[in-house]
Chains A and B, each alone.
Chain A
Amino acid sequence: MDTTMKTTPLYPWHVGRNAHMAAFGGYEMPLWYPSGAKAEHLAAITAAGLFDTSHMAVLTLHGPAVRTLLQSCFSKDLEQCIGPKKGPIVPGRCVYGVFLDAQGQVIDDAIVYQCSDADYMLVVNASMGGPVVAHLRQHNHGEAGAVIRDHTGQVGKMDVQGPAAARILSHVLRDPAQVFAQMVYFSFKGTFDPHLLPAAPVTLLDGTPIMVSRTGYTGEFGFELFVAPAQIESLWNLLLAAGEPEGILTCGLAARDSLRAGAGLPLSHQDIGPWLFACNPWLFVLPWNEGGDDFSKEFIGGPALRAAKDVPCTQAYAGFDPRKITLSDNSRVIAADGTPLGTILTCTTDMAIDRVGGAIVSIATPPEHGRPQPFAPRGLCCGFVRLDHPLPPGTEVRLTDGKRTLTVEIRDQVRPDRTARKPMSTML
């Protein structure tokens, strides 16, 4: 391993379990464990998957100037972003969005958490703490500005995702009923450091402070957990022991990538990045006004987006079998007659789905909605393409690398029957 590679505290655990390791975002991470990427992908959908995500960067912002700073830099209008009635973000709620530059291009995507009136937390991607902090500092106004802190490498994080996640977590929390009460999607409770981020405490059975966030990167029900780094291994082992009867598996980055692709979630610097954020499946992160025809606030990148015309369009697709195209300088999207249509951003296989009479069915689809019994899905290739001109869902295009050509279908949704938004009461 290159000695400039960073590692998370669980690195020795992964290596000790013979995980297949690879570099990602400057970190040496597990791609899969001996269980294999297929079993790990399926576990997160049918039972639970446990992911080491301590490579992600946690930033905190403090002071009365934070709200204004975030309003200017973050894509969501924090005053109009919660729920169908578009209320303001309040302590205990979090929102997903992007940081754009002045050209309307994505610097990174992030989740913003409001912890108290004047304390916020941001979670950004591996190795992005520095660039996002630099961007915020550039727009922060001197002495009256927000206090911005980069906690990269100083916060332990792991994700537990899958229908059994709350049941498993309930065995390690001191007061699970209190934690799960009214815990809606994109809300959180507790803090991993009460001095840094004050909040009503949530603790493990031994009193260790923990932040429990009902968020994730799989499209499935579950949580992102934040603890002090010294507690990571202990929490990891507690969750594995508690989850064993439910069939929990540790999951590497291969399953993480195939799960998020099937769930329609972008990978920063691959599906979103240094191009205009103007036509893609994630425009809901922009601060639309009530009419949906302009923005409700001024923000960095806003003017560039307003001026955007005839831009390439990022769209999701799914194929008809597990085969993929390896991305390279030769890979591209073409029409049936060979006309170039665009580029391929992501191409992976969602192992939980297959075609039944042309429709996409998941192992999680109820039998009455079309899942045959028995059902052993072979998996379908899926991901994102960036097309010169948008195409209606249902349109078939071809992906090619010059040697192999696959037919795929442009889709609004890929993997059906995802569990992320299920009411908490049904998951306990």
Chain B
Amino acid sequence: MKELEELNLPDDIRYTGDHEWAKITDDTVRIGVSDYAQDQMGDIVFVEMPAIGDRFAKGDQFGTLESVKAVSEIYMPMSGTVIAVNTTLTDAPELINQDPYEAWIIEITPADPSEYDQLLPAAAYLDLLKG
């Protein structure tokens, strides 16, 4: 497992205490899980994603990540409506382990873009991981 110093935590995106990341671009937000999450989970073997059009509030569960040993629920960093899901993860769930920031899981239209400012910048997320 990775030491905290070895984690890849890009600073142009934001994070949640549940280890999701969110990247805002113009009117949409892409969502995935952090390097810490994929390292802790180990090999991801199945991704359950929502349907396009599904609406969730911030903090709602929107899917699951299945590893060999366990099931992890994933939660919305922001409220919004799903406009895209990363279908490459259906046949290649391991892409999340290989590059958790390239392998986004869903894309949403945010209900309230200001919720992005409440998320943790990389330095604050790392502090949280250090406990």
Name A residues whose Cβ lies closer than 8 Å to a Cβ of B.
Answer: 18-21, 31-32, 36-39, 41, 254-255, 257-258, 321-326, 348-349, 351, 378-379, 404
Partner of A38, one of B39, B45, B48, B71: B45
A349 touches B1 (CB 8 A): no
CA distance A258 to B1 in the complex (A): 20
Question: What are 26 A-B contacts defined by CB distance under 8 Å?
Answer: A20-B1, A31-B42, A31-B69, A32-B42, A32-B43, A36-B97, A37-B43, A37-B67, A37-B68, A37-B69, A38-B43, A38-B45, A38-B94, A257-B69, A258-B69, A322-B46, A322-B66, A323-B46, A323-B48, A323-B66, A323-B71, A324-B71, A348-B69, A349-B68, A351-B68, A378-B46
CA distance A37 to B1 in the complex (A): 13
Sort chain B's interface into a size bin: 10 to 19
B45 touches A378 (CB 8 A): yes
Cβ-closest chain A residue relative to B45: A322
Residues of B within 8 A of A18 (CB): 1-2
B66 touches A349 (CB 8 A): yes
Secondary structure call for the B interface: mixed
CA distance A254 to B39 in the complex (A): 14
Q: A247 to nearest B CB, angstroms?
A: 17
The residues in B between 24 and 80 inclusive whose CB is less than 8 angstroms from any CB of A are 39-40, 42-43, 45-46, 48, 64, 66-71
A351 touches B69 (CB 8 A): no
CA distance A258 to B45 in the complex (A): 13
State the 3 A-B residue pairs at the shortest beta-carbon distance, nearest first: A37-B68, A38-B43, A36-B43
Contacts A38-B43, A349-B45 known; list 11 others, CB within 8 Å.
Answer: A20-B40, A21-B1, A31-B42, A36-B42, A36-B43, A37-B69, A257-B69, A323-B48, A348-B68, A378-B46, A404-B71
A37-B68, A326-B71, A348-B69 given; A321·B43 CB < 8 A: no
